[in-house]
Amino acid sequence: MTATAATSPASSARTKGALSGLGAIVLLLGGWRLNEGGVAGVPLIIIGCGVMLIAAFFDRIKSWKVGPSGFAGELYERAHGVELVQAAARAGDSALAAVMPLLREDVASGVVIVPSHYDGKRLVDPELHFLRQELNVTVFALRRPGDQKWCGGGRVSTTVLAAGTELAVAGEPADITHLRRRFAG
């Protein structure tokens, strides 16, 4: 007997949420049973962790098949996934050591768009000092409207910004969220 299924991104997101909730409930139930002195809590904890692990990847599953030979699945491609793998293969060890914390989400990173009221300003100008002084956000690259490539290094601080410039930033998640709100408002 073989079971096959295909998913859409929208249904996968709903299912991911449901699986995460189910996994959390089973995990909590297992913890409660274990706390009450019942060894029956251990399998529930294992099942809950397994369901939550599956939920973490569920929105990437394009199709799956379970049969006598086991489980097989096809994942949706991530945006820039192939480009990232190729760049990592060419990068030196020191560059990878610097980037790995961002990929592990030890440090948040993201892209924010410069609003029109900062048009003509530079990151070293007083109007943009709040990025480092208040928010502790580091801009490590930028891409001006119309440019195909990102600009990095020391020239980022002195580049004249245009409205719509993309800033690649790193910092605490709350600080990046605050920056997005400040740029939006």
HEC profile of the chain? CCEEEECCHHHHHHHHHHHHHHHHHHHHHHHHHHHCCCCCHHHHHHHHHHHHHHHHHHCCEEEEEEECCEEEEEECCCCCHHHHHHHHHHCCHHHHHHHHHHHCCCCEEEEEECCHHHCCCCCCCHHHCHHHHCCCCEEEEEECCCCCCCEECCHHHHCCCCCCCEEEEEECHHHHHHHHHHHHC
Residue at a domain's end among 75, 96, 130: 75
**Is 145 a member of any domain?**
yes
Question: Taking 60 as the threshold, does the pLDDT of residue 120 lie above it?
Answer: yes
pLDDT at 103: 61
CB 20 within 8 A of CB 45: no
**Is 15 a member of any domain?**
yes
Query: CA 147, CA 169: separation in Å to the nearest integer?
Result: 18
Query: CA 17, CA 11: separation in Å to the nearest integer?
Result: 10
61 and 127 co-located in one domain: no
**Is 83 a member of any domain?**
no
- 143-158 pLDDT, tens per residue? 999 998 888 888 889 9
Pairing mode of beta strands 61-67, 108-113: unpaired
Query: CA 25, CA 114: separation in Å to the nearest integer?
Result: 42
CB 115 within 8 A of CB 184: yes
Residue at a domain's end among 75, 93, 127: 75
9-35 and 41-58 helices cross at what angle (nearest 10)? Answer: 160
Residue 159's φ and ψ, nearest 5 degrees, are -70, 130
**Is 144 a member of any domain?**
yes
Confidence of residue 25 (pLDDT cuts 50, 70, 90): confident
**Is 153 a member of any domain?**
yes
Question: Taking 70 as the threshold, does the pLDDT of residue 5 lie above it?
Answer: no
pLDDT at 66: 67
179 and 114 co-located in one domain: yes
pLDDT at 70: 66
**Is 86 a member of any domain?**
no
159: containing domain: 104-184
56 and 114 co-located in one domain: no
**Is 88 a member of any domain?**
no
109 and 178 co-located in one domain: yes
50 and 113 co-located in one domain: no
109 and 179 co-located in one domain: yes
Q: Chain-centre distance of CA 111, in angstroms? A: 11
* Count of domains observed in the chain: 2
In percent, the amount of the chain with pLDDT more than 70 equals: 66
38 and 109 co-located in one domain: no
